Structure 1
Amino acid sequence: MREYNPNAIEKKWQKIWDDEETFKAVIDKDKKKFYPLVEFPYPSGQGLHVGHPRPYTALDIVARKRRLEGENVIYPMGWDAFGLPTENYAIKNHIHPAIVTRDNIKNFKSQMKSIGFSFDWSREINTTDPNYYKWSQWIFIQLYKHGLAYKKEMPINWCPSCKIGLANEEVVDGKCERCGSDVTHKVKNQWMLKITKYADRLIDDLDDVDYEEKIKTQQKNWIGRSYGAEIDFKLKDKDYKLNVYTTRPDTIFGATYMVIAPEHPMLEKFKDDIKNLDKVKEYQTFAKKKSDFERSELSKEKTGVKLDGISAINPVNGKEVPIWISDYVLISYGTGAIMAVPAHDERDFEFAKKFDMPIIPVIDNGDEELPTISNDKGLMINSDFLNGLSVDEAKAKMIEYVEDNEIGFAKVNYKLRDWVFSRQRYWGEPIPMIYCQEHGWVPEKEENLPIELPEVESYEVTDDGESPLSKIDDFVNTTCPICGKPSKRETDTMPQWAGSSWYYLRYTDHNNSKDIASKENLEYFTPVDWYNGGMEHTTLHLLYSRFWHKFLYDIGKVPTKEPYQKRTSHGMILGEDHQKMSKSRGNVVNPDDIVRDYGADTLRVYEMFIGDFRSTAPWSDEGVKGCRKYLERVFNLYELVEDGEEYSKDLEILINQTIKKVSDDYESLKYNTAIAALMSLLNEFRNKGTITKKDYKTYLILLNPVAPHLTEELWEEIGFEGELNQASWPIYDKSKLEYDTIELPVQVNGKVRTKLNISKDADQEDAVSKAENDKNIQKYIDGKDIFKVIYVPGKILNLLVK
């Protein structure tokens, strides 16, 4: 056997693909277009890890297959390069983030090319390129002009030690990830984007796209559309109404206490009436250290403080109910106040049990134990005029009651909140707004875009938490675009989400200086046909991107109302210890090492063969070695090739079956079973000892999307016409997917005694006749009476004898 040297083969073909621009996409209206997309990476200093190639290879397989099927494929790549990690690294190491980004991208790109992805590198984009973020700024201005961008006082995470605003991911257990200091909240004037205006469309339009169901569910849950009522609870002896939103107005007779968020403005308004104000303030400080996510966790221990001196009146029965503050109620959801019905809500129940408050069931569902959480069935009890009604009937009647009595109204509510868009940081797109004393906030003139990020000596935020840009007079001082008077430029920058919300559009026309992309390119290439990414991005990134796209659709800039027709997600690759890969655990696998020691094709085959694509899978060095041995066997398959322009007769059905399975599996994310089928076919080739050129040719094409370098080399070596990437994907013959004969198991009294080669359409008489003449069966039936025959055509024959 000759030696397989993947490094030489892979470098050779990567150079050919680069020189020939093999994967460059251009508009060709005679071909059906296919636009697969993978999430562009953040180019960190650590480079690619073995988790990156998994999704890239998966869609690379589909892209290569579709090209072979004659489709016009655009498979682009770029860099999501603004953001916190690079800025923090720059601050720590005193290196300009632009230099850090440049070096990281160079390394990432080299790694990607070494793995042989069929990216169209001519369309490469970089979110830190002014020619790119010019259009991010342009989109922001359009949002502002349409009333979807506005300024609002909002709390940010603040580290008093670092004197810096922190993103949510930089706060761990209420402490600064960098220095460990307790994080507080600081109110800042922030730019907001009105994504809530699109809430209904972001839910309803999911019916028109092919997303995995779990992704649709995550989107819907994050938006959190609910139907209910807002109801006013008057404060006892005060001219003040505490407004609550509830999805279950039918349970109001079971409300035994109320809870408000620690940030509720009522606390400040009535601070002089609250007798235990010190305890309340102490609890407010405690709650500030938690993120909204931590506060809303169902499993956490319930905490709170009862207000002494203030109570409310239940508007339907006049009963006095106490008011508590607790961090499980968020000021950002609903009205920041709830009516607590502990008999029918798990969190309320746990809170009531801990603090010994009444629990009054109002739905009889036949369960004597509390809480009766499955509360959508049964009839109303303990509810005055609602008694005896079903839950749905009671909801409708209570909403009618509160509206008739002017104590509330029906309302649709959302968990989704407007997008906080400001960052008091340096490494991001400058927000293109100017503040004029006379005209207020005014957008920069579009002809002046891009507003470029200036050079700074220090990337640290200021002592008062402002962006480093605020200290650059040449940047800050400008003139009003309306009146020309001296004005101040906005010094906040955009979040990393900005550049990733529309990058798929720029790929279609990345050098356009007059628009985000030309109408012709957008109409031909969009929408994205298949978008794959991590589950961690199926809420915020996907929502933000869909929001921006819908806005651009509304103003006539894009031809479709949804950006992505299909969305799938992949599982994570774990270390060999079945733990998440991390430096601290010492279980990180560098793909460079695998490419160097085993070859890029081995890495590609292994990452697709490792297990179900949607599931997590542990890395295995032994598995890598096994995939390398498989490719070595493919490399030496040429030894069996003989002339022949037809399939080997005895392999024809198996080859057609393999074509069908591999074709289907590549498209349905079942890469592991597709590769298993190719391995099985290789074994049959070896067992036979000879194969035709057509057998070999088909095998190379089927394997090519997974192992493109090796198969191109073998294609060239045997002298097939052109390059393999110019070939046509094989089509299976439907009439040759099943064997005319089968191996039929034959039982005697329920035990298999032999297998007969028999026509798959054989009737019972023929099957029994052949069995009776088989020497392996005769010894079990000679001299005995066959009193019953059980025959399932194509499956089994059972002879019962006595």
Structure 2
Amino acid sequence: MAELYNHREVETKWQKVWDDEKAFKTSDDFTKPKYYALVEFPYPSGQGLHVGHPRPYTALDIVARKRRMQGYNVLYPMGWDAFGLPTENYAIKNHIHPRIVTENNVKRFKSQLHSLGYSFDWDREINTTDVKYYKWTQWIFLKLFKAGLAYKAEMPINWCTSCKVGLANEEVVNGVCERCGSEVIRKVKSQWMLKITAYADKLIEGLDTVDYIERVKVSQKNWIGKSTGAEVDFAVKGKDEKLTVYTTRPDTLFGVTYMVISPEHPMIDKYKDDLKNYDEVVAYREQAAKKSDFERTELAKDKTGVMLDGLTAIDPVNDKEIPIWVSDYVLMSYGTGAIMAVPAHDERDWEFAKKFNMPIIEVVAGSPVDVNEAVYTDVATGTLVNSGFLDGLSVADAKEKIIEFMTEKGIGHAKTNYKLRDWVFSRQRYWGEPIPIVHCDKCGYVALPESELPLELPDVESYMPTDNGESPLAAMTEWVNTTCPCCGGPAKRETDTMPQWAGSSWYFLRYTDPHNDKELASQEALKYWMPVDWYNGGMEHTTLHLLYSRFWHRFLYDEGVVPCPEPYQKRTSHGMILGSNGEKMSKSRGNVVNPDDIVRDYGADTLRTYEMFIGAFDLSASWSEDGVKGCRRFLERVWKLQDILTEEDGYSADMEVKLHQTIKKVSSDFENLKYNTAIAAMMALINEFYKKNSVTKGEYRTLLTLLNPVAPHITEELWQRAGFDGRVYQTVWPEFDEEKTKEATVEIAVQINGKTRATLAIHKDDQKDTVIENAKKVIADKLTGSIVKEIYVPGRIVNIVMK
């Protein structure tokens, strides 16, 4: 009788063995087939790991362990995305230097990950705050700058009136600062920008070459938002001024009944003397400045606006005079800052027109529209009406004809547009990578020579935000004042720092050669390891992070730095783990589960197994303490198989099919994110062992190998106790024989006149006559009439037709 399963002893023992043996160290032998498995590296917060973290880490750990057993040289790395606002805020609040905060957080995170038995190669650990790492982040920025893809521009930011800092959109909640609750306003500042829009088409085209789940591809394409249409010039009556708009529906120009411009549009101040309600417009602008871009453009919100009293526009296709409105749902940062409104065929325009009692003119027939009954129709097909020379044309033909007309008249032209905006790349913060640029009054913005990299973040006592909104670095005059690399005259360093997105946009490349001090990574390593074979991360990162990193990688490819155009061959995403009440875990809801508690009470293998068994990997699932206990009982059943282990080495005849079926099932499910059904298959196999009350050494060896990627500690211990050679992680992944996955016997229904009266076990090779004869024997007492017909559907049913 085996002693009780003591997970603490087992897991501590094997984690030390793996450390001592460097069990999961990636080989530098580039002749072996490679496999690069990657999970998004975490932001090391003060709260430590939550139970959501192990779900993707365990999933890819399973793949990495399986691949090693299949003979691959596996790279499965881990590191830290450690710059960023939360650490700086914590440091300011608690008067602890952000570097110390980061070091403490990383130490805790690493300890937690180690306790879960992940097969990371810790010799390749990276940290975005390490000067040896961010040297190459700065190097990439200089490449972008020299290529004309990094530039300075005046941009509106969210400004906290209390913290005196710029905030990201997600840090603004209901118009106030998430951290301090103070009012947030819009403020224009000079910002570094990256011209990601120059790569919009390449980012779309690249999606056709990779294996991403469909919703990730759709998310990327929607974020880029490529559309074809036209730019149209609307004259401002009595002024030498034009309002240019972009529209995907130039065919609806005859249906324009008003225009809308952004509250920040420069025309407002240019013609303020003509505006009879200028003060009202300015007051509206001030209210709009308190809202984030998301709040301003949210479709569900109530429409607000002010009509410009004193300025009107002229529709270029029919010379009709139309009013110009100011409304916060139009942004200067998107398009031209002005739109034409066709309320009969656009929901937002229709809502605005109904609220402010403006005309609604149907110009595309195709489904009923009753302007009096407040109905609009978004018609993409149909026939043009009320549209002059376009009447009777289809939408497609009308688009073509109106663009020709506008081009000839010089009032518009065809245009491809994108929702994607250039990337705001500066933060007025201390805790980020210094931007390696100086400003010289004579030479302008000048790049530091690459020989001067890294430009290190000065290690000073004060990192508090400044009153004027500049970065804390601006107050460090000894660091700021320097000489121009171009002319040798006085210059000042850039005091904004890079956003947290910078370090995460190329970290996957550094893992391939993390200790290289001569280059970002060697060409040999990059050619061998790239692209990443399988990258998993959260759906919340499939737009910004995924888009940013693909952009940087494609740029580096164009520069000849990396060998492939796309960084990730495969991208999947996992669902969230919710609290037991079905809500997102948070301290305020009191439903947070600490993984340390589960590891302590039930074991790391139990937590790993439960996180994979909790449900479909790509869907969210609610935490269940009973589910955790159920997985613990499963592992205890695995442990107790020692009591019925025989000395026979091989598969017993009556278990051979079941073993080959299980190998096939588990092997396939691990590759297709079906971890829960793979575990269920192993549970079913164990049930069969207990029914027989015996398990051979050969069957036991196969089970332990299949289960090892999910529960590595217990399987290593049982492997050693059974006297098997070596370690499980060193063994070969079992293979199945397709023929041996097929059942030798099947159970079929025996029917009389289509109604099932019995079942019959037959051999898969039995002939029709044999099957029918045996079927009649099992229902002999029910064959009371004369047989008209005997039907056999192979492997399924026998039907005896009687009268």
Change (3 A) 1:300 1:770: same
User: 1:238 Cα shift?
Assistant: 1.8
Q: Give the equivalent residue in structure 1 for 2:301.
A: 300
User: 1:152 Cα shift?
Assistant: 1.0
User: 1:765 Cα shift?
Assistant: 3.8
Give the match's secondary structure for 2:46.
Answer: coil
Kept in 1: contact 2:346–2:378 (CA 8 A): no
Q: Give the equivalent residue in structure 1 for 2:43.
A: 42
Give the match's secondary structure for 1:557.
Answer: coil
Q: Give the equivalent residue in structure 2 for 1:487.
A: 491
2:560 corresponds to 1:556: yes
User: 1:763 Cα shift?
Assistant: 5.2
Moved more, 43-52 or 146-155: 146-155
Moved more, 760-769 or 694-703: 760-769
User: 1:113 Cα shift?
Assistant: 0.4
Quote the Cα distance in structure 2 between the aligned partners of 1:649 and 1:221: 56
Q: Where do 1:11-160 residues align within 5 Å?
A: 11-160=12-161
Moved more, 744-753 or 174-183: 744-753
Q: Give the equivalent residue in structure 1 for 2:169.
A: 168
Q: 1:676 aligns with which of 673, 676, 680?
A: 680
Q: Give the equivalent residue in structure 2 for 1:202.
A: 203
2:630 corresponds to 1:629: no
Give the match's secondary structure for 1:508.
Answer: coil
User: 1:786 Cα shift?
Assistant: 3.8
- Letter of the 2:79 partner, please give it: G
Quote the Cα distance in structure 2 between the aligned partners of 1:228 and 1:321: 22
Kept in 1: contact 2:575–2:619 (CA 8 A): yes
Change (3 A) 1:475 1:365: same
Give the match's secondary structure for 1:343.
Answer: coil
- Letter of the 2:586 partner, please give it: S
User: 1:487 Cα shift?
Assistant: 1.5
Q: Give the equivalent residue in structure 1 for 2:743.
A: 739
User: 1:801 Cα shift?
Assistant: 4.0
Q: Give the equivalent residue in structure 1 for 2:263.
A: 262
Quote the Cα distance in structure 2 between the aligned partners of 1:181 and 1:15: 50
Kept in 2: contact 1:763–1:793 (CA 8 A): no
User: 1:748 Cα shift?
Assistant: 3.4
Quote the Cα distance in structure 2 between the aligned partners of 1:735 and 1:426: 64
Quote the Cα distance in structure 1 between the aligned partners of 2:44 and 2:224: 30
Q: Where do 1:705-744 residues align within 5 Å?
A: 705-744=709-748
2:763 corresponds to 1:759: yes
Kept in 1: contact 2:364–2:385 (CA 8 A): yes
Q: Give the equivalent residue in structure 2 for 1:310.
A: 311
Q: Where does structure 1 lack aligned partners over 5 or more consecutive residues?
A: none
Quote the Cα distance in structure 1 between the aligned partners of 2:322 and 2:796: 71
Change (3 A) 1:31 1:404: same
Q: 2:603 aligns with which of 599, 602, 615?
A: 599
User: 1:291 Cα shift?
Assistant: 1.4
Change (3 A) 1:769 1:381: same
Give the match's secondary structure for 2:234.
Answer: strand
Q: Give the equivalent residue in structure 1 for 2:621.
A: 617
User: 1:752 Cα shift?
Assistant: 3.1
Change (3 A) 1:728 1:373: farther
Quote the Cα distance in structure 2 between the aligned partners of 1:756 and 1:521: 61
Give the match's secondary structure for 1:339.
Answer: strand
Quote the Cα distance in structure 2 between the aligned partners of 1:373 and 1:646: 70
Deviations 1:700-721 (A, max 9, x none): 1110100011111111111111
User: 1:248 Cα shift?
Assistant: 0.5
Quote the Cα distance in structure 2 between the aligned partners of 1:364 and 1:153: 44
Deviations 1:233-257 (A, max 9, x none): 1112222111110000011111111
- Letter of the 2:537 partner, please give it: G
- Letter of the 1:706 partner, please give it: V
Deviations 1:207-231 (A, max 9, x none): 0111111111111111111100000
User: 1:272 Cα shift?
Assistant: 1.3
Q: Give the equivalent residue in structure 1 for 2:532.
A: 528
2:541 corresponds to 1:537: yes
Quote the Cα distance in structure 2 between the aligned partners of 1:624 and 1:178: 35
Kept in 2: contact 1:575–1:619 (CA 8 A): yes
Change (3 A) 1:779 1:369: farther
Change (3 A) 1:276 1:42: same
Quote the Cα distance in structure 2 between the aligned partners of 1:99 and 1:594: 28
Quote the Cα distance in structure 1 between the aligned partners of 2:440 and 2:261: 39
Q: Give the equivalent residue in structure 1 for 2:283.
A: 282
The TM-score with structure 1 as length reference comes to: 0.98
User: 1:751 Cα shift?
Assistant: 4.1
Q: 1:779 aligns with which of 781, 785, 803?
A: 781
Deviations 1:332-370 (A, max 9, x none): 221111111111111111111111111111111133456
User: 1:753 Cα shift?
Assistant: 2.8
User: 1:739 Cα shift?
Assistant: 1.1
Q: Give the equivalent residue in structure 2 for 1:395.
A: 399
User: 1:800 Cα shift?
Assistant: 4.3
Q: Give the equivalent residue in structure 1 for 2:331.
A: 330
Q: Give the equivalent residue in structure 1 for 2:226.
A: 225
Kept in 2: contact 1:365–1:372 (CA 8 A): no
Kept in 2: contact 1:761–1:793 (CA 8 A): no
2:387 corresponds to 1:383: yes
Moved more, 677-686 or 738-747: 738-747
Give the match's secondary structure for 2:229.
Answer: strand
Give the match's secondary structure for 2:663.
Answer: helix
Deviations 1:11-41 (A, max 9, x none): 1111111111111112323321000100000
Q: Where does structure 2 lack aligned partners over 5 or more consecutive residues?
A: none
Change (3 A) 1:629 1:250: same
Deviations 1:35-58 (A, max 9, x none): 010000000000000000000000
Kept in 2: contact 1:260–1:336 (CA 8 A): yes
Deviations 1:472-508 (A, max 9, x none): 1221111111222221111111100000000001111
Quote the Cα distance in structure 2 between the aligned partners of 1:272 and 1:403: 34
- Letter of the 1:707 partner, please give it: A
Quote the Cα distance in structure 1 between the aligned partners of 2:719 and 2:67: 19
- Letter of the 1:544 partner, please give it: Y
Quote the Cα distance in structure 1 between the aligned partners of 2:664 and 2:293: 50
Give the match's secondary structure for 1:244.
Answer: strand
Deviations 1:241-298 (A, max 9, x none): 1111000001111111111111111111111111111221121112112211122222
- Letter of the 2:512 partner, please give it: T
Q: 1:546 aligns with which of 550, 555, 558?
A: 550
Q: 1:660 aligns with which of 655, 664, 682?
A: 664
Give the match's secondary structure for 1:773.
Answer: helix
User: 1:750 Cα shift?
Assistant: 4.4
Q: Give the equivalent residue in structure 1 for 2:697.
A: 693
Quote the Cα distance in structure 2 between the aligned partners of 1:365 and 1:654: 60
Kept in 1: contact 2:44–2:102 (CA 8 A): yes
Q: Give the equivalent residue in structure 1 for 2:585.
A: 581
Count of aligned pairs between the two proteins: 799
- Letter of the 2:453 partner, please give it: L
Q: Where do 1:441-520 residues align within 5 Å?
A: 441-520=445-524
Kept in 2: contact 1:195–1:419 (CA 8 A): yes
Quote the Cα distance in structure 1 between the aligned partners of 2:329 and 2:168: 21
Change (3 A) 1:407 1:472: same
User: 1:167 Cα shift?
Assistant: 2.0
Give the match's secondary structure for 1:544.
Answer: helix
Q: Give the equivalent residue in structure 2 for 1:248.
A: 249
User: 1:159 Cα shift?
Assistant: 1.4
Deviations 1:105-152 (A, max 9, x none): 000000000000000000000001100001111111111111111111
Give the match's secondary structure for 1:410.
Answer: strand
Kept in 1: contact 2:367–2:377 (CA 8 A): no
Change (3 A) 1:573 1:318: same
Identical pairs, percent: 66
